[in-house]
Structure 1
């Protein structure tokens, strides 16, 4: 920290954040990687938060922009302190009695700052908050010769999501995304990304990267909430002079984006959802490297004494499809154990009787009376333990079906809106703010633990919607509280049962934010059942989720959902012959080796060749998972779009010292047998390239040139995949 002419500069991990001295005290002005920053035009300092209350004009263009509220400009700095770990600042609006405190923590080992913001009503009258930001950072991409709006300067990277189609990154310049100057007045335009409801990653990821193509720098951020969120890129300009710069803003509390508001009585406080942000010299990949390091710091105590990234077999995807029984499970258990799996998770259906629709009975979580023979589910779980694996079960802890006995509980047990339980049919949503609900759910988990369960897959197959308006509060505020209540319950579960592994799933990746992932050991990447489409999802998801947390399905011998009416089809000689060359199994396992290997499929039908390929991949994964848990991703071919069936795809996992890459390469439906993969950052460094998986009998041509920094790979058939081990000479 340095002070010069009563200004403040904070430096951390190559980042430089500056505050200017104003009549109201220190206000944040620039955020860059250069200490001696030359800006094209002077920035406009402002506090690192935005705030609005009912009855006070919002600010500039309130219908269009969130990041230009009026109240912060009238607040004065009353105290601040800084050390090597954090910066604390407190601002106050004397007339209204509102105090805002921000704490920026400098994350060790990464170019990331994590901000928390709290507003307190120190006045004598209630106030109604209508906006509270999680972060607002000024002075973005303010250096260089090009004006901020030039199409050649700024590129914004963001990620679209949908069911079965997660991780679809896109990019655009500011103008095409919605931010551009229109006159001599400050711009009323902005780039907006937002989500409403508890499927926080159902449409977009709550993160973005802004790249300055002119100066070779990148800014990045993520907001950590499973409730509503909103991100904005705008321009803070002047009415009277040529000044201003781009700002980035994020919040989980905005009346205009989700209907949030909250009354604060005198003495009460409100805490914003946290956000993390940073900047780095480099590009998108460098930004993700820093966010990956930050996420590891955030989850550093997640596993305790549990082994990270275990090999899990789950019986659902392309296998039993929620219809388990003792007879169906027995060969799968034996095959999974033989392959080297460490956990065996029985997915949906274990609680419903054969011949019945179990969906409307969610919530009671009692074992089926007729699926598992006379000895029942507990004996089957014991048989899993006898193979050396640990048993797991699927739950949807947060819901209750209308036919469950649990449905008879009072309405206070449930999330409500308009006085009516939110949801309906198979899924009403439980209120984990009610102590009896928490006690009930703890009782369920305690009982399953006594039965030997050591793995729970918690699914979440419906979105609450706008939230819970019980007691007259804004539904959006109720939603935020509902998520906090549930995660407090999850924290309690982990304290009670430190030997239990928890997987987060929401129809795949529909709730994959880091409010959730700071608590769950594993995240389901997708419900995608076509292995050929998975590389697109894997590549994009690795930018948002730690590889060791990203559960990636690998399902050899799949029974697709469209073939459920003819389950015997996968045992027909014609089908089995299509599997003989092993290439479909290899493709599946290369998918899984990019993150946390998550097996399914009819492994017991595998012939000797395919059994060997499965066991080889599992053994390799166990050998490399410690490396995977230290690596960060790269994309030599960029991101592959979901329906790009004519191309290739590639993802690399790079060591911290950049001396090694585990490189997955997929030929999709491309008509070309050859693909050149640029590894430009390693240009000039000699390397050895070895085919890591599969092994003997599956060699392919490859050639690396240190002069060009390019790897050429030949895969002679469509829909082939290989995993390469690239090791570079260590530079002195």
Structure 2
């Protein structure tokens, strides 16, 4: 890694990525180029384009925009910042760091941009720290984590650029769609040259409150369809965020990207930075590629693997059985659980999680959460301890569902904890769907939840927690905060600190992330937790789209896709369910205890396949031969590519038997040596996979009409 400064230019080069930043006495620092290291030789002063988008945007009350609008690519502070110094360092964990300090004389704010890159990973994590070097406090309303205009090169056009953005909602997660920047939902060309004025509009994406992926995914991609150049980013925050794509007048068709955490205009977020005080923005990672959106997502996949915690018990991706989905649905009892435990063990599950309701004596598990003491009514003979012991006797590790961030309105803890331990507005507790929400800034909250987790691990023997989160507090809490958004951000960060604490104390426990499915699927959470529930969707046919799209947001080994085969289903429906799980992290449920031997064998075979390929899945890159799936697509395909094998999950959801053709250019070099095999299921109808080496084309034909799915493996013959 090297850094040089020449002609007011900083060139930061790692093993895999190069960033060029220019600055002057009359302009702020700006990213001029982001490129893969393979293009480094071409980045000289003749090819680097001068950009107008500042490296940092900061909105300060009493200062506002340099150009009046509601976007953040024209803030007053951002335009006035001037370079002060920069430094380079290398950390012991393999991270290379670049720090750039700028200063605004009008507000006396010093702004530090931190870039961090892992060795061998073509991605960068960045954040911004604002320090008040003056005597008067400054009210800050927005701080960018990442801002760049370095996407289009000379001669390239905005008309060739598309934005890939993902919608998300309960049971409808990961719905990706393309937006052409010059299309009807994009940015109009208003002839800024004639007006001698930048445009004021923006293509903005915002997520509110604490469901960081409850409306939109915190990941986006810009792709130039003509050149294949792509820039992908992800916001690594468990709360509110915003990113925007703007048109700038660097050239005829310039594009800017500004990414931030919460803002005043979107989230009621403001913070006061006093003399000598500072504020640091939420982290953002970005990756670049010359191989289109799939290449950029591959860069983010490598970044996610580099930054995530690796726990010992989850290292081999054990098979989890959870009693909830399309099974007990929050009504566990000893009588219902014991036969399910037998069946789960018989098909090869390695963990068994008792989901919601294990603490409830009143028959309604939803408003009674919060105390987390095992029910005596549901487990009358030997208590919950008997059930957990039985799980261990069957060779599995026991797990429990927790929703630690809430207290039900009927829970004893609603009156036992101090009022300040709850999120509140104007002195009144926030109530959402019969729940209060705990404020993790308060020590009583932390002490209570530490006692709960420690007891369940040490005394009850839990080795797995499904951490759920089913309600949100709106804009936040104004208790001991300048604004509700500030209180919420501090709560978000305190929640992460609590997670760090329980994980450190219990390294032999697996922690699952869930929020009504995938409503909080971000890498603030997933850099810490082991796996992510990708949805609450109960229709296995609809789940195919979610399972296929999830690896755009997660490493495949963290994408826990429900597989809930039922005894009243056809063999093809059972296989479809299992392929959903095999497309990432197999996560079992369903009334397996009601199945016959043939059905159990079909499920057991799927579990065996997962165990055979899970090491490959944990090292794979996702790709989509038919593009990222649409919600209503009849055919859905996900590819996972490892060093030696390519896996294809193929779902057919229509009533026909039309052949499916998949072009796989990455296998062209292997040619005739490619061998195609059906991994799952092997006992049902043959889809007759046929490989055409000349055109790198795989053709498969569903064996029967109606929904069905198969998992294929393609590999070079030994």
For normalisation by structure 1, the TM-score amounts to 0.92
Aligned partner of 1:719 in structure 2 is 707
Q: Report if aligned partners of 2:67, 2:75 keep a CA contact under 8 Å in 1.
A: yes
**Structure-1 residue corresponding to 2:21:** 19
* Aligned match for 1:584, one of 540, 549, 573: 573
1:10 is displaced (CA, Å) by: 2.2
Deviates more, 1:424-433 or 1:531-540: 424-433
Q: In structure 1, what is the Cα distance between the partners aligned to 2:75 and 2:717?
A: 53
Moved more, 202-211 or 699-708: 699-708
1:618 counterpart (587, 607, 622): 607
Q: Do residues 82 (structure 1) and 88 (structure 2) align?
A: yes
| 1:174 match | 181
C-alpha root-mean-square deviation of aligned residues, in Å?
2.0
Structure 1 match to 2:528: 519
CA contact (8 A) 2:142 2:264 kept: yes
**Contact 1:222–1:275 under 8 Å retained in 2:** yes
Q: Distance in 1 between matches of 2:21 and 2:628?
A: 37
- Indicate if the aligned counterparts of 1:399 and 1:429 stay in contact, CA closer than 8 A: yes
1:213 and 2:225 are equivalent in the alignment: yes
- Asked if 2 retains the 8 angstrom alpha-carbon contact of 1:237 and 1:243, the reply is yes
Kindly report which structure 2 residues correspond to 1:557-572, keeping only aligned pairs within 5 A, or say none: 557=566
Unaligned runs of at least 5 residues, structure 2: 91-95
Which runs of structure 2 are paired with 1:298-697 in the superposition (5 Å)?
A: 298-299=307-308, 301-304=309-312, 306-353=314-361, 356-408=363-415, 409-424=417-432, 426-449=434-457, 450-557=459-566, 575=568, 579=570, 582-644=571-633, 647-655=634-642, 657=643, 659-686=644-671, 687-696=674-683
Name stretches of at least 5 consecutive residues in structure 1 with no aligned partner: 558-569
Larger CA deviation: 673-682 vs 398-407: 673-682
Once the 2 structures are TM-superposed, how far is the Cα of residue 473 of structure 1 from its aligned partner?
1.6
**What is the aligned partner in structure 2 of residue 4 from structure 1?**
6
TM-score, with length taken from structure 2: 0.93
Report Cα offsets for 1:622-652 as digits up to 9, x if no partner: 12111111001111122332233xx211111
Match of 2:73 in 1: 67
**Structure 2 residue corresponding to 1:121, chosen from 127, 132, 144:** 132
Deviates more, 1:311-320 or 1:372-381: 372-381
Question: 8 Å contact 2:29–2:55 — kept in the other structure?
Answer: no
The change in CA–CA distance for 1:701 and 1:244 in structure 2 (over 3 A counts) is closer
SS of the residue corresponding to residue 256 of structure 1 reads helix
2-structure distance, mates of 1:700, 1:42? 52
Kept after mapping to 2: 8 A contact 1:554/1:597: yes
Deviation for aligned residue 1:12: 3.5
- Are 1:142 and 2:153 counterparts? yes
* Deviation digits for residues 358-413 of structure 1 (CA, Å, limit 9, x no counterpart): 22111011111111122111111111111111111111100001111100022111
Once the two structures are TM-superposed, the CA of residue 138 in structure 1 deviates from its matched residue by: 2.2
1:306 CA displacement: 4.3
1:585-613 deviation per Cα after TM superposition (whole angstroms, max 9, x unaligned): 11111111111110000111222221111
Counterpart contact for 1:347–1:394, Cα < 8 Å: yes
| Distance of 2:609 and 2:397 partners within structure 1 | 20
Residue 248 (str. 1) matches residue 220 (str. 2): no
Aligned counterpart, 1:158: 165
**Secondary structure of the structure 2 residue equivalent to 1:588:** helix
Say if 2:141 is the partner of 1:133.
no
Give the Cα separation in 2 of the matches to 1:115 and 1:639: 27
- For 1:618 and 1:305, locate their aligned partners in 2 and report how far apart those are by CA, in whole Å: 18
Residue deviations 1:105-128 (CA, integer Å, cap 9, x gap):
122232111002110111101110
Q: Does the Cα contact within 8 Å between 1:124 and 1:266 map onto a contact in 2? A: yes
Displacement of 1:583? 1.4
Aligned match for 1:107, one of 112, 115, 118: 118
Q: Residue 292 of structure 1: CA displacement?
A: 0.5
Point out the more displaced range, 115-124 or 66-75. Answer: 66-75
> Across the two proteins, how many residue pairs are aligned to each other?
696
Specify the SS of the correspondent of 1:100: strand
Q: Look up the match of 1:285.
A: 294
Q: Distance in 1 between matches of 2:135 and 2:53?
A: 27
Q: Per-residue displacement from partner, 1:692-725 (whole Å, max 9, x unpaired)? A: 1122454331101111111000112221111111
Question: Is 1:381–1:391's contact at 8 Å kept on the other side of the alignment?
Answer: yes
**Distance of 1:140 and 1:15 partners within structure 2:** 15
Query: How far off is 1:305 after superposition?
Result: 5.5
The answer to whether the Cα contact below 8 Å between 2:481 and 2:487 also exists between their aligned partners in 1 is no
Shift of 1:554: 0.5
Q: Which residue of 2 aligns with 1:566?
A: none
* Aligned-residue offset at 1:46: 4.8
Preserved CA contact (<8 Å) 1:512 1:523: yes
For the 8 Å contact 1:362–1:426, the answer to whether it is kept is: no
Q: What is the alpha-carbon distance in structure 1 between the residues aligned to residue 253 and residue 10 of structure 2?
A: 19
In structure 1, the partner of 2:93 is none
What are the Cα deviations for residues 272-324 of structure 1, in whole angstroms up to 9, with x where unaligned? 0000112111111111111101000011x331454342200000000011111
What's the offset of the Cα at 1:341? 0.6
Contact 1:235 1:245 in 2 (8 A): yes
User: 1:702 aligned to 689, 692, 706, which one?
Assistant: 689
Q: Distance in 2 between matches of 1:91 and 1:527?
A: 46
Change (3 A) 1:69 1:243: farther
Counterpart contact for 1:166–1:509, Cα < 8 Å: yes
Q: Secondary structure at the match of 1:136?
A: strand
Please tell me whether the aligned partners of residues 31 and 148 of structure 2 are also in contact (alpha carbons under 8 angstroms).
yes
Which 4+ residue blocks in structure 1 deviate beyond 6 angstroms?
38-41
Alpha-carbon distance in structure 2 between the residues aligned to 1:57 and 1:486: 32
Deviations 1:188-215 (A, max 9, x none): 2221111111111011001101001122
Counterparts of 1:95 and 1:583, CA distance in 2? 68
Deviates more, 1:48-57 or 1:417-426: 417-426
Other-structure match for 1:565: none
Deviation at 1:156, TM superposition (A): 0.8
**Residues 145-187 of structure 1: CA deviation (Å, up to 9, x unaligned):** 3433x2xx10110101011011100001113333233132222
Which whole-Å CA distance do the structure 2 matches of 1:556 and 1:711 have between them?
29
Could you tell me whether the CA contact under 8 Å between 2:476 and 2:485 is conserved in 1? Answer: yes
Kept in 2, the 8 Å contact 1:226–1:516? The answer is yes
- CA separation in 2, counterparts of 1:425 and 1:707? 59
CA contact (8 A) 1:31 1:137 kept: no
The answer to whether the 8 Å contact 2:686/2:703 transfers is: no
Q: Distance in 1 between matches of 2:550 and 2:21?
A: 35
